[in-house]
Structure 1
Amino acid sequence: MSVRIKAVVDRFVKELQEALDADIQDRIMKEREMQSYIQEREREVAEREAAWKAELSRREAEIARQEARLKMEKENLEKEKSVLMGTASNQDNQDGALEITVSGEKYRCLRFSKAKK
C-alpha cells in the first residue's frame, strides 16, 4: 500500500509541477504581451508628441511671419499718415490758395471744385 500511496503522491507532485510550469509560462507570456503593449503605446505617444511639436513650430513660424508683415504694414501706414497729415497746410495766403507739400515738392491749388459722384 505504501507503494500505491507513493505513486499517488508522485503523480500529484508531477501534476502540481506541470500546473506550476504552465502557470509560470502563462505569466511570462502575459508579461511579454504587456511589455509589447507598453512599448507600442510609448511609441504612439512619442509620435503624437513629435507631430504636435512640429505643428506648434509651424504655427509659431507663421505667427512670426504675420507679426513681421503686420509691423511692416503698420510702419508703411505711419509713413503714409505722416506724408498725408504733415504735408497739407492751409496757408492763409492773400489769394486763398491751398499749399500742399508732397515729398518735398510744393503744390498750390487756387481753385476748388466739388468732387463728382
Structure 2
Amino acid sequence: MTLRIKAVVENFVRELKAALDADIQEGIMKEREMRSYLEEREREVAEREAAWRADLGRREAEIAKQEARLKVEQENLEKEKSVLMGTASSLDHQDGALEITVSGEKYRCLRFSKAKK
C-alpha cells in the first residue's frame, strides 16, 4: 500500500511540476510578447514625434520667411510714406516762395513755372 501511495504522490508531484513549468513558460512567453508590443509602440510614438518635430520645423521656417517678407514690405511702406508724407508745401512766406520738404531736406523755390506737356 505504501508503494501505491508513493507512486500516486510521485505522479502528482510530476504533474504539478509539469503544470508549474507550463505556467512559467506561458508567463515568459507573455512577458516577451508584452515587451515586444511595448517596443513596437515606443518605436511608433518616436516616429510620430519625429514627423511632428519635422513638420513643426518646416512651419517655423515658413513663419520666419513670412515675417522677413512682412518686415521688408513694412520698410518699403515706411519709405513710400516718408517720400509721400515728407513732401510738404507752404506758401505762407512773405516773399511768396514755395517751400518743399523731402526726406527732411527743405527746398525753397522763389519762381516756378508750369510743367510742359
TM range (shorter): 0.7 to 0.9
Greater length-normalized contact order (CA 8 Å, ≥ 6 residues apart): 2
Given the alignment of the two structures, is residue 45 of structure 1 paired with residue 45 of structure 2, yes or no? yes
- Residues 86 and 102 in structure 2, CA contact (< 8 A), matched pair in contact too: no
Residue 4 (str. 1) matches residue 4 (str. 2): yes
Question: What CA distance in whole angstroms lies between the structure 1 residues aligned with 2:52 and 2:24?
Answer: 42
Q: Confirm whether residue 30 of structure 1 aligns to residue 33 of structure 2.
A: no
User: Whole-Å Cα distance in 2 between the matches of residues 109 and 54 of structure 1?
Assistant: 65
- Contact map agreement 1:99 1:109 (CA 8 A) in 2: no
Q: Which residue of 2 aligns with 1:17?
A: 17
Q: What letter matches 2:72 in structure 1? A: M
Aligned residues: 109
Amino acid corresponding to residue 34 of structure 1 in structure 2 = M
What code does the residue aligned with 1:3 have? Answer: L
- AA of the residue aligned to 2:47: E
| Structure-1 separation of matches of 2:23 and 2:113 | 104
* 1:65-80 matches, cutoff 5 A: 65-80=65-80
Structure 1 segments, 4+ long, off by >2 Å, are 90-94, 96-104, 108-111
Aligned partner of 1:67: which letter? E
1:91 and 1:98 in contact (8 A); partners too: yes
Unaligned ranges ≥5, structure 2: none
Identity, % of aligned positions: 75
On the 8 A contact 1:98/1:110 being kept in 2, the answer is no
Alignment match, 1:115: none
Alignment RMSD: 2.9
**Normalised TM-score (structure 1):** 0.78
TM-score, normalization by structure 2: 0.78
Distance 1:91 1:109, change over 3 A: farther
